[in-house]
Amino acid sequence: MPDVRKAPLVVEFPFTRSLGPVQRAFLTGLRERVVLGVRTTAGRVLVPPAEYDPDTAEELHDLVPVAATGTVTTWAWNHAPRPGQPLTGPFAWALVRLDGADTALLGALDAPGPDAVRTGMRVRVRWATERTGAITDIACFEPYDGPPEQPAPHTGEFENPVTGIVAHARLDYTYTPGRAQSDHLDALAERKVVGERCPRCHKVYVPPRGACPTCGIATTEHVEVGPRGTVTTFCVVNIKARNLDIDVPYVYAHIALDGADLALHARIGGIPYDRVRMGLRVEPVWTEGAPHPDHYRPTGEPDADYDTYKELL
């Protein structure tokens, strides 16, 4: 049996957002070890607070301090924490309704094991040693058997309020291609581009998917296409990607390879970015030892007529 192909992949990006008056007060309060909720039109206290009433859509302004103690409403045990999660050892994800709040806040609960966690148990906030005005200022929750804490009155006004945050989103996963894509990758290693033809509609898909997305039936017939193709549409990239040694601006394009009924995407090189156009005829450029084309470059042929690729936009 051949070795199964697999590769670790990471999708990661920072998300920057500004804060409205309610979220600004909530996050700045966490920096100062104060938990603020917001009162709705019906009198419920939401924690975490929302900018608008979920029932009436009215804008909310009435900030209400709540306690740093509360009750677990539901939970799930996390046996193997992932990198970047609140605690390095096993812990429980818990929804905690803080005293004075009508909704629950999600957070990590530091407990010795799942047998030590139960719905209805009392907990309190463990504050982070260094606080910056982010939800991570609540390091976690911890078991608590004392009396409910009474929050001090607060207007929600702070010096040097937090006005914006940067949230880092990251997804780590292992990708394993199936039979069709493995055949495609094996062919690329031999500098050939191979797709598969649907036995019903006869469309050729590159890269192959193992089944026709239109007809929903399996595809097994290999069809070699290209290697030349036509740019159907493209975009100019002006932001440099991490770990990608390519000067900006550059062009990424959808390319309909000759004989294929599905456009693939690849980088265009060998031509100034502002001269790339729809209909441009291109061919792959291979580098020594590379398992796939590095980029596509113009062939020097006349541009393709729009009618020949309009169905592949």
Q: What is the pLDDT of residues 46-85, one digit of tens each?
A: 999 999 999 999 999 999 999 999 999 999 999 999 888 9
Averaged pLDDT, 286-300: 92
- CA-CA distance, 119 to 106, in Å (whole number)? 14
Cα distances (Å, whole numbers) of residue 144 to 6, 70, 178, 223, 280? 45, 9, 50, 66, 68
What pLDDT digit, counting tens, does each position of 112-152 carry?
999 999 999 999 999 999 999 999 999 999 999 998 888 88
Residue 2 is predicted with a pLDDT of 58
What pLDDT digit, counting tens, does each position of 239-262 carry?
888 778 888 999 999 999 999 999
Confidence grade of residue 304 (pLDDT, cut at 50, 70, 90) = very high
What pLDDT digit, counting tens, does each position of 212-239 carry?
999 999 999 999 999 999 999 999 999 8
- Taking the CA atoms of 77, 75, 151 and 154 in sequence, report the sign of the dihedral they define: positive
pTM over 0.75: no
Residue 1 has pLDDT above 50, yes or no: no
Phi and psi of 86, rounded to 5°? -60, -35
Q: To 5 degrees, how large is the angle CA 94–CA 96–CA 97?
A: 160
Own/partner pairs, 49-55, CB within 8 angstroms, 24+ separation: 49/22, 49/23, 49/25, 50/22, 51/20, 51/21, 51/22, 51/23
Q: What is the CA radius of gyration of the chain?
A: 28
- CA-CA distance, 271 to 127, in Å (whole number)? 55
Nearest Cα neighbor of 121 from 145, 92, 91 is 145
